[in-house]
Amino acid sequence: MTAFWAEPDFDAHEQVTLVHDRSSGLTAIIAVHSTHLGPAAGGTRFWHYNDPAGAMRDCLRLSRGMSYKNAMAGLPMGGGKAVILADEQRIKTPEMLAAFGDAVEALGGRYVTAEDVGISEADMVAVSRRTAHVSGLPVEGAGRAGGDPGPFTAHGIYLGIKAAVRHKLGKDSVAGIHLAVQGTGSVGGGVARLLARDGAKLTLADINAERAAALATELGGVAVASDAIMATPCDVFSPNALGAILDDAGIAALDCAIVAGGANNQLAQAQHGAALSARGILYAPDYVINAGGIISVATEYLARRDRRQVEVAEVRALIEQIPGRLETIWQESAASGVSAAVVADRMAQRLIGRG
Is 209 an interacting residue with respect to ligand NAD (CB under 6 A)?
A: no
15, 40 Cβ separation under 8 angstroms = no
Q: Which is nearer to ligand NAD, 119 or 126 (CB)?
A: 119
Total residues interacting with ligand NAD, rule: CB under 6 A: 26
Is 293 an interacting residue with respect to ligand NAD (CB under 6 A)?
A: yes
E strands in the chain: 15-21, 26-34, 40-41, 44-47, 78-85, 111-112, 178-182, 201-205, 222-223, 236-239, 258-259, 282-283
Q: Which of 208, 217, 269, 331 contacts ligand NAD by CB under 6 A?
A: 208
Is 70 an interacting residue with respect to ligand NAD (CB under 6 A)?
A: no
The residues assigned a catalytic role are 81
| Dihedral of alpha carbons 273, 276, 278, 282, sign | negative
Q: Which is nearer to ligand NAD, 99 or 124 (CB)?
A: 124
Q: Which of 74, 102, 117, 354 contacts ligand NAD by CB under 6 A?
A: 117
48, 90 Cβ separation under 8 angstroms = yes
Is 184 an interacting residue with respect to ligand NAD (CB under 6 A)?
A: yes
Q: Which of 183, 221, 285, 323 contacts ligand NAD by CB under 6 A?
A: 183
- The DSSP code for 10 is G
Give least dist CB 184 to ligand NAD, A. Answer: 6
Q: Find the part of the chain contacting ligand NAD (CB under 6 A) among 8-16, 75-83, 146-154, 247-255.
A: 146-154
The neighbouring-strand residues paired with 80 are: 32
Type of residue numbered 236: V
Site for ligand NAD in 305-344 (CB under 6 A): none
Q: What angle (nearest 5°) sits at the alpha carbon of residue 267, between those of residues 216 and 49?
A: 80
> Residue 235's closest CA among 151, 183, 324, 167?
167
Q: Which of 42, 124, 196, 206 contacts ligand NAD by CB under 6 A?
A: 206
Q: Which of 27, 128, 186, 238 contacts ligand NAD by CB under 6 A?
A: 186
Q: Find the part of the chain contacting ligand NAD (CB under 6 A) among 72-80, 149-157, 192-200, 267-275.
A: 149-157
Reading across the β-sheet that carries 178-182, which strands appear in turn? 222-223, 201-205, 178-182, 236-239, 258-259, 282-283
> Residue 56's closest CA among 97, 13, 99, 106?
13
Is 262 an interacting residue with respect to ligand NAD (CB under 6 A)?
A: yes
How is 221-243 classified by DSSP, letter by letter? -EE--GGGGGGS--SEEEE-S-S
Q: Which is nearer to ligand NAD, 273 or 293 (CB)?
A: 293
Give least dist CB 43 to ligand NAD, A. Answer: 8
Positions touching ligand NAD (CB under 6 A) are: 117, 149-150, 153, 182-188, 205-208, 211, 226, 240-243, 262-264, 290, 293
